[in-house]
Structure 1
Amino acid sequence: MNQPAESPVLALPDMQHQWLPFTPNREFKADPQLFARAKDQFYFDLAGRPVLDAGSGLFTTPAGHCRDEIAEAVHRQLQELDFTPGFLRAHPKSFELARRIAGLLPEGLDRVFFVNSGSEAVDTAMKMCLAYHRARGEAGRTVFVSRERAYHGVNFGGVALSGMVNNRRAFGGTVHGVSHMRATWQEATRFQIGQPDQGAELADDLIAAIRVHGAENIAACVVEPIAGSTGVLVPPRGYLERLRDICTAHGILLVFDEVICGFGRTGEAFAAQSFGVTPDLITMAKAITNGAVPMAAVAAARFIHDTVMEAAPEGAIEFFHGYTWSAHPVACAAALASLDLYERDGLFARARALSPVFLEAVASLRDLPLVTDIRGYGMIAGIDLASDGKPGRRGQLLQKKLYDNGLHLKTTGDCAILAPQFIFSEAHIARMTEILRSTIASLA
């Protein structure tokens, strides 16, 4: 494994003014864990100590950190065109990027709307569903169906869809009209790597929602192909296919939230292709720019786009929605450079080839006494730890110790979530597994 270069020691900054997201701020500022720089597979703390990035940042950076190709593209763009409004104006790179993304998507999903975050993408997709049904004379379709243990961002629409209780407690009662199916995790599926054989019938929860609300009132079913932030819940065999069939039979749109899965995480460009199921809309973000610049998008089936366009009067704004930063020139430049990297280095194929090594390494941790379940698919896996009596406390302690021991990943509650960069070698995976094993063992 290549040894990272040394970096200078930096002073601790004044931290009193920033309010950190999804962080116990008082605890963090009493014992801060900061990154000063990054390169390839590593972060570096203020003292220059390397920390192996087994989370691809936050599922964002599969091609490795601080890639020169992306930095140079951003630099050129800032000198050429730093900003242009996206309302009644545009710039060429946005159209080129939309074309490139359409070429990666399942056939027919080739109309791309740019936003700035996964949360915005989800809310935008919800509006697209409502606009489509309204355009075809079914404005009564306003109910959305999602799942328990789902995460769809932090805007009000996404919070309403989400099924993770801590994301809903404070703000989940603002948007109504969402029904939740059961999550796909089952006791019988413990320690199954890949798609579980049991559980396809859970898709029939959508039939139950139809019985309650009436199909004529349901706009869309919104699911993550792999429920990522909740702990990597891989769909049972046949589950997504059943959802697709039910949606088609009842005129309900199917939305895949691929903010985490998109751009190679499952071994194909999108999880829709890995699982062989084509939805009507796909949300994407994170790896679209390899994490370099905030950006996201929604891909809609052509029939959705065309229906909305054709229903609007001539000269009217067909879809009354957008953001100041939509298709920002610098974000487009970063995304185009990222797509070039993914293609030139064959990173999706590399992820596919590395996946068995990664999943086998993670599965080897099942003998640890604190480990209660391991799940995974492609280049993402979740490891559940037994609670110490207060949910989430052990996961928080694991996070801190892993930083001290030189490994970065994401935790949700008492689950450690691994999403290595596609440029990892087998040596990086071995080191990741070694640090995980010793750190989890120390918690016992």
Structure 2
Amino acid sequence: MTPEAKLDTERTKISEFGQRMLKDGLTLGTGGNISVRNGNHVAISPSGVPYDEIEPEDVPVVDLEGDHIAGESKPSSEFRMHTDVIRERPDVGGVVHTHSPYASTFASMGEPIPASHYLIAFIGDEVPVAPYETYGTAELATAALETLGEEYNACLLENHGVLAVGETVDEAYEVAMMVEYCAQIHYQAISVGEPEILSNEAVTELIEIFEHYGEHTDSQDEATEVPVGDALQAERAAVSELGRQMLEDGLTKGTGGNVSSRNGEEVAINPSGVPYEEITPETVPLVDLQGEQVAGKLPASSESPMHTAIYRAREDVGGVVHTHSPYASTFASLQEPIEASHYLIAFAGDQVPVTAYETPATEALGELAVEALGDEYGACLLGNHGVITIGESVEEAYEIALMTEYCARIHYQARSVGEPKILADTEIKTLTERFADYGQQS
């Protein structure tokens, strides 16, 4: 192998992300493939090798025309689709092809995934569909490239699967995750109702916001001069721990959602755009009750305005959890409340109310959340977005987030096969009073 064709880092990425595709349920067996570009060379998954058996040294390398130039293993049969996209899209450094089940359902129907959830903007105004062509052919490569055009970061392959692209393979993989998440939300929403579809103007605004997702601002750069030190140690530890727990419990995907814990006039909140598994208590930034970052090297979550708006309005609140949990987010995309079809709804109130859609990371979204929560609710849905839960402590807020998703799932499944029974207001009042002392010793 020539020195320029080694691509050690890129071949390692193929091995790692292949195993992650299996773990995250984006493919089965040896389906799908991944590629990473370095200059005029591309590392790509080997053909027909189980992902859990692929070592970096097994990963072949091709040039931009698809010619096999290094590695003993045969390149993926879909090498043409990868190299055509990478060659014609200079902004693309990584390509991920999955057979994820919800997105592949729409691919098999030949229907695009519309903007029923705001995260569609990671892809474009929708996830379009490339017409069917036989796998591994130049015709499929051409269909995919034409469907992506210059504006889309993903497309469905009719009767096949998903193609996602990004400046890096990490970004392409995140896009693939967002495609599957949006597909699941849309599938579930149309199964029980009629989801609200975001306007072109709203999606255009979101696309512009996501172009700068996780970037520092001048004010945040100034905050790096103020060390966190020993401040809010318990709160920062809780934010770090519960962020990981959100992933483990299926309450979010990727870097979506956020957690905060209040102590007096300061709030510990997870940093923006950082994978939860990489967040330690020491890296958790602090903001004041106006949302201004006061300490920490990493920028605070973009949803700080919503968290701090709730803290200012509700002195009883010591913790806020924002999730993208799939069943609750289905009702958020329907812009319907979760009704009291299960008694555990009383952890949140007589229902889980829902707001209209508002641009994420804005004061306006915070105002809608405050209005929906009022003085009586422990949770609300954010239209076409997700869930906000609150509690006297962040641990209590997290428990309500779990209860909200559980009740959403029960209500969704009941709606899928019949007409759920809704508990009377008097019974909800009884339950709410009981839950107020839940677990307390008399």
Task: State TM-score, norm by structure 1.
Answer: 0.26
Which one has more relative contact order, counting CA pairs under 8 Å at least 6 apart? 1
Give the number of the structure whose alpha-carbon radius of gyration is greater. Answer: 2
Task: State TM-score, norm by structure 2.
Answer: 0.26
